[in-house]
Chains A and B, each alone.
Chain A
């Protein structure tokens, strides 16, 4: 395993622990307090946007395959699709936030707002960072030298993107689906 990938995996391990702490805090409050505001969440709508994010993991995998085959045209295509899917997810999150705020559910209203916006907000921040990284990959594919993007950079960003997806699986299950269990 390359140096860069080892470094990225360790970084992801650290980040995963950070999200574990945030999820545990959400669960900590969820188990004792009934969140009335929770009913404003729309699992179906957010679920649709989530599918965009999960699909982007697949397209990222396709991008990696094209990278392996040295096919820059397809690499650019799959990266662009991944970026579009990620952006759709972020847009969905924006719509959801706007909706909640319209109903006066803000980060400072109650514990639901506090934990919900902190947890999903940090995830959204990570998606945005991932999108910026993907954009830089796309930029390197288009304007970079022949050796760019390097395989280290490509794989690290791919791992990071998959990580951001997997975290969402857990957050979505806990925040949106738990009440149906």
Chain B
């Protein structure tokens, strides 16, 4: 039997067996990428539950026409906090946390390139996020939506400090994101194990490196916009105040220069996780790995040049509209390559429908639906008709919830055994999956129709007698209870399995990337030695004859 665990300590089965991790102090002072990763993900999950509850309040308010479940101003605060939380406090920390946890393990390193910067980035994120939630007590939460369009966000229109909290909080969180992005890139470039060339690192990391470049170049757009709105509010400058010659449109340009790459920043880790999960559970090498990596690079470049498609309704000239409609549609090609590759990987594989694989499969379907409505939006006339309706809400929830969150959950079921040493319960997992699928599609599919019927997003309520509105909203709201319940079931599974789950062992899925070549959970030093890395599947090579091995990215024999 070939040795498959490359650590000196072999008797680590749960986090409890690692005495370095005992006690709160070891976590607060930690610069260990695994502890920081766990804290990142844990914080993100707590914010996920908070934001899911906020969403539930929105759905209850919209359940029946002329409802008074919450007040108008509370409603505005709730949907703003829901959006901001989901994007900045759930999506970003979970995807950064997963990468921070997995990257050194996947490339056979001891830790990240800058461990202290890593800890700094987590803590500044945490306190930045808490600052925004403090605004509920400090005079009112922000209430201008997650993209905070001026002039509404100018002090003349929103006098309460909510928007100021919002801008300050996102500046802090943004600093943390850029710091971690730099860390991720430098780690991937400098700390790879011998033999681990760039074309042998797992696709998850490929996508996260591209993702980090996007963070580095997109976040400054947001930071500049935030600084300007802060100055407008605190120093009485006039960047976005049209009555002083300022330009509200400038905010939209700056914000969406960040905002559009941001949605790719959010979805890329999802693609990455699914690209690791699908091959393992189909027992096949991923189809077209080179195309997978290259299409991510293409999307990275294109995503920096499409931001105006969020602004089609602002009266820009036709040339601008056509150019940005064209670039937006172009993105469908590399994205289609990805969907094709995932399907081709499943094709003819011996698929094992574990919960992770179920979520990955649902991801492919739902992400495709979200992608198709996205292409529809790139067509200017469709956008003019549907912009700021519930069709938009349906579109981005299909991409970010049906896409990203499903992919992340797939990744959780896949990597949870590595992180905690215990398997997530598959029984609860199957329930979780079916409730999620029913709840998600029930809640959001009908929103497409509501959008087509003309229901604007962000309305507090709607009149009686609108054709179909009451019925569809009621249906959506009922399903949203199922969806939110499924999230709490997931949280229960995470906690329950942490104490009672089956012991996983080093490599429960017979996977082949390096993170499975150490104990579950890995000891603080990760590895004491490393297997020879001769391909993208080092663990496969250890147990198989050379003629069964596969080529590297780009087709060269690896």
Question: Which residue numbers of A lie inside 8 Å of B, CB to CB?
Answer: 3, 6-7, 10-11, 13-15, 17-18, 20-22, 25, 28-29, 33, 107-108, 110-111, 113-115, 117-118, 122
Contact = CB atoms under 8 A, between A and B. Distances in A.
Interface string B192-225: 0000000000000000000000001101110111
Contacts of A20: 220
Contact of B247 (A17, A21, A29, A113): A29
21 contacts: A7-B182, A7-B183, A11-B178, A14-B182, A14-B216, A17-B220, A21-B223, A25-B254, A28-B247, A29-B246, A33-B245, A107-B231, A107-B236, A110-B244, A111-B244, A111-B246, A114-B239, A114-B246, A115-B239, A118-B237, A122-B227
Contacts of B186: 3, 6-7, 10
Contacts of B238: 108, 110-111, 114
B220 A107 contact: no
Contacts of A114: 231, 237-239, 246
B244 A118 contact: no
B431 interface: no
A10 B221 contact: no
Interface of B: 113-114, 117, 178, 181-183, 185-186, 189-190, 216-217, 219-221, 223-225, 227-228, 231, 235-239, 244-247, 250, 254, 257
Nearest to B236: A108
A13 B216 contact: yes
Contacts of A25: 224, 228, 239, 250, 254
B450 to A, nearest CB: 36
A152 to B, nearest CB: 11
- In the A-B complex, the 8 residue pairs with the closest CB atoms: A21-B224, A18-B220, A108-B236, A114-B237, A17-B220, A10-B182, A14-B216, A6-B186
Contact of A11 (B182, B189, B227, B244): B182
Mostly, the B contact residues are helix
Contacts of A113: 237
Given A28-B247, A110-B245, A118-B231, A17 B217 contact: yes
Contacts of A33: 245
Instruction: Find the residue from A17, A21, A33 having the highest chain B CB count within 10 A.
Output: A21
Most buried by B among A3, A15, A113: A3
Given A14-B217, A22-B224, A110-B245, A28 B250 contact: yes
A25 B216 CA distance: 20
A115 B250 CA distance: 13
Contacts of A111: 238, 244-246
Given A11-B182, A111-B246, A21 B220 contact: yes
A33 B245 CA distance: 8
Nearest to B191: A3
Contacts of B190: 3, 6
Contacts of B247: 28-29
A54 B237 CA distance: 30
